[in-house]
Amino acid sequence: MRDVYIIGTGIHPWMGFSEKVFADFAAVAVDGALKDANVEWKRIQAIMAGIFIYGGNAGHLSGQYLESIFGETGIPVVNVYNACATGSASLRMAYNSVAAGETDTALAFGADVSPKGFLTAKSDNAVQDRDVIRWKMGGLPNPIYWALECRKRMEKYDTTEEDLALVKVLMSEYGAKNPLARFKKTYTLEEVLKSAYVCDPLRLYEICPVSTGAAAVIVTADKELISKADKPVKINATTMGSAIYGDPTIRISALSCPSVPEAPMLSESYSASRQAYEKSGIGPEDIDVLELPDNSSWHYLVYLETCGFCKEGEADKMLRDGETKIGGKLPVNPSGGFSSHGEALSAQALWQVIECANQLRGRCGERQVANPKIAMAQTYGLMGNSGTTIMSL
Amino acid sequence: MENMANKVARIPNLVDWSTGEVRLMSAKCGSCNTYFFPKEHYQHRPGCSREGVENVLLPNKGKLASYTVQYYPCPAPFKTDNKITPYGIALVEFEKEKIQVTGIITDTDLKSLKIGMEMETTILEMFTNEEKQQVVTWAFRAVK
Ligand SMILES: [Zn+2]
């Protein structure tokens, strides 16, 4: 396998619902990536596209739509969906194509437009689509799943409502310094603790909404392109994991879970991160900056444990001691996280990778971590999907 | 148990009251002993032969493993004639079957919820359909 580098990245800033078509956002992100990489469209030899699941024909074949905007060149275009880890899947395919020598330069992108209302079932078949049961009979919007796990955590460890609120305080401080984030208002602990419960113990400011956004990453093994790129970022590993039998997590869309654990919680993310550590020879102790999926404040805490940055039940202490702040031992989510962005399904994993790359390239202005050498982006994903990317300068 | 004659589950094959008790319709794998709910959502142990999957009913009673109170109405296609928000959601553990199942909490003071308390499976009337039947879902309530 060849070494693969990120040479160009682009983002369409995150925002709320928009009437514009998703391909317009995608084009902004891809234009940005091409300019950053200083390469012409014709040098792109494969497109790995995260699909936009609410976009019908156009969304499901998002790669073809994108290609036609920039000009069709006959290259392989593959469209992929892995829920919140869709961007991880597209990047992994681009990486594998280049690393294996199938292509020299490939593009991974994802673009998503927030639905006007809530995300609900996409079919009416209760036998094959358990989303139908959870929406029609279960009364189970996504945050309830997180609240059920958060309550278990609070019963088991000493996680407090102040800990959950403190996550938002930190994320809002960083989001305010990120021009690409959607939410830029800062909050005090008191303000977060005064916000209404959505599903207790989780409050309105402690869960993330759905957003619109797009992200694109160009990877290459072409020595000429690497040499002329501004601080190329090496991908040490980019992996995906699925769930492991006996994982006790109540997964979004499920109506049941095992009561006797035989695998770690969030086993798909445990699996993705361990694969990445093994493939790269880099461990959690080596990571200088981490982007994790803080879909809720519970996620922020549990992911530090799932990915091995501390032992189970110790994440609250890391947070309280300031270890996860910019300037701390392990700066977490200097981007402001999902809390400041919201979910744009097929784009968000790439946005996390781009924040890591920008941190390594020293492009993060007021939220810049001091001289990071190794960064890690970790996704969450419904139904047992997760991706981990470890990068270095 | 109350009169169940004019009640129909919104989606079939999930909840049963034919035995005189309200019970969830599960399936058990005869080879890896895993219980599934809903029964079609198989999650076999890797390497299982998948032989001998049979339909079983979960016990009526279990223990509260976790809970939350939802303060915003659940969006469509969820539908109830009466306002139920805020409503509780329970994760109830059936110990012998090694499975936890989610369900709406009904007929229970939400302030009294405590992990470990005994819960029983019941039904919640959601709305009346065109045939004048009461359309129901499964639910849990504190054992009195
Ligand atoms: Zn089995």
| Confidence at residue A115, expressed as pLDDT on a 0 to 100 scale | 79
Q: How far apart are the first and last CA of chain A?
A: 19
Measure in Å the smallest separation between the Cα of A221 and chain B Cα atoms.
38
A219 and A269 in a common domain: no
- Looking at residue A32, its pLDDT comes to 98
- Pick among B82, B100, B124, B129 to test the A interface (most A CBs inside 10 A): B100
Supply the DSSP symbol for B99.
E
The answer to whether residue A124 is domain-embedded is no
> How far, in Å, CA of A12 to CA of A211, rounded?
12
How large a percentage of chain B has pLDDT more than 70? Answer: 99
Per-residue model confidence (pLDDT) at position A118: 64
Residues A83, A225 within the same domain = yes
**pLDDT digit string, tens, across residues B10-24:** 999 999 999 999 999
Cβ neighbours, 10 Å, residue A127: 14
How far B55 CA lies from chain A's nearest CA (Å)?
15
How many CB atoms sit inside 10 A of residue B119's CB?
25
Count CB-CB contacts under 10 A for residue A156.
11
* A175 within a domain of the structure (yes/no): yes
pLDDT digits (tens, 9 = 90+) for B73-107: 999 999 999 999 999 999 999 999 999 999 999 99
- The answer to whether residues A219 and A246 belong to one domain is no
Distance CA A149, CA A157 (A): 12
Quick one: which of A139, A189, A388 has its CA closest to A297?
A189
Q: Chain A: which residues have CB within 8 Å of chain B? A: 117-118, 120-121, 126-128, 130, 132-141, 144, 147-149, 151-152, 155, 196-202, 245-246, 250, 254-260
d(CA A149, CA A258): 13
Is A125:B41 a contact under the CB 8 Å cutoff?
Answer: no
Are A240 and A227 found together in one domain? no
Same domain, A56 and A164: no
- Per-residue model confidence (pLDDT) at position A120: 73
Contact B37 A256 (CB under 8 A): yes
pLDDT of residue A381: 78
Tokens 């996680």, located at residue: A159
Q: Is the residue at A140 inside a domain?
A: yes
**Closest residue in chain B to residue A140, using alpha carbons only:** B74
Element (H, E) at A29: helix A22-37
User: Ligand 1 centroid vs A242 CA: distance in angstroms?
Assistant: 19
pLDDT of residue B2: 63
Query: In this predicted structure, what is the pLDDT of residue B127?
Result: 98
What pLDDT does residue A114 have?
85
Give the Cα separation of A327 and A369 in Å (integer). 7
Please indicate, yes or no, whether residues A48 and A110 belong to a single structural domain of this protein. yes
Largest CA-CA distance found in chain B, in angstroms, rounded: 48
Confirm whether A194 is domain-assigned: yes
Q: Which residues of B touch A254 (CB under 8 A)?
A: 41
C-alpha B103/C-alpha A145 separation (Å) is 12
ipTM exceeding 0.90, yes/no: yes
The pLDDT, as a whole number, for residue A119 is 67
pLDDT score recorded for residue A117: 65
Q: Taking CB atoms and an 8 Å limit, are B11 and A137 in contact across chains? A: yes
Model pLDDT, residue A355 = 98
The closest of A141, A137, A163, A235 to B25, measured between CA atoms, is A137
Please tell me the predicted confidence (pLDDT) of residue A41.
98
Handedness of CA A88, A81, A142, B14 (dihedral sign): negative
Looking at chain B, which residue has its C-alpha nearest residue A126?
B11
- CA A286: distance to chain centroid? 20
How does DSSP assign B14-59, residue by residue? SEE-TTSS-EEEEEEETTT--EESSTT---PPTT-----EEEEEPP
Domain boundary among A199, A233, A267: A233
Q: Do A248 and A354 share a domain, yes or no? A: yes
Give tens-digit pLDDT for B102-134: 999 999 999 999 999 999 999 999 999 999 999
Cβ contact, residue pair B77, A250, below 8 Å: no
Q: Are residues A221 and A246 in the same domain?
A: no
CATH of the domain at A347: 3.40.47.10
Mean pLDDT of chain B: 96
Question: Ligand 1 center to residue A197 CA distance, Å?
Answer: 40
Q: For residue A279, is it within any domain?
A: yes
HEC letters along A79-141: EECECECHHHHHHHHHHHHHHCCCCCEEEEEEEECCCCCCCCCCCCCCCCCHHHHHHHHHCCC
Sign for the CA dihedral angle at B60, A383, A272, A203 comes to negative
Question: Pick from B143, B92, B137: which is nearest to B118 by CA?
Answer: B143
Kindly report, residue by residue over A297-341, the tens digit of the pLDDT.
999 999 999 999 999 999 999 999 999 999 999 999 999 999 999
Q: Assess whether A220 and A105 both reside in one domain.
A: yes
Name residue, tokens 């990245």.
A9
Contact A121/B10, CB-based, under 8 Å?
no
Tokens coding A323 = 């270890």
Best residue of A118, A125, A137 to probe chain B, by most B CBs closer than 10 Å: A137
Listed as ranges, residues in chain A with pLDDT below 70 are 117-119
Range(s) of the domain holding residue A348: 130-207+235-392
Looking at the fold, whether A87 and A60 belong to one and the same domain comes out as: yes
Domain count of chain A? 2
Q: Which of A249, A256, A260 to mutate to test the interface with B (most CBs of B within 10 A)?
A: A256
Would A125 be classed as within a structural domain?
Answer: no
H or E element in which residue A374 lies:
strand A374-378
Q: How far is the CA of B85 from the centre of ligand 1 (A)?
A: 38
Q: Which residues of A touch B66 (CB under 8 A)?
A: 148-149, 151-152, 155, 250
| Mean pLDDT, rounded, for B37-62 | 97
The reply to whether A23 and A95 lie within a common domain is yes
CB contact at 8 A, A144 and A199: yes
Q: Please report residues of A whose CB lies closer than 8 A to that of B103.
A: 138
CB B27 within 8 A of CB A150: no
A11 and A88 in a single domain? The answer is yes
- pLDDT at B43 (0 to 100): 95
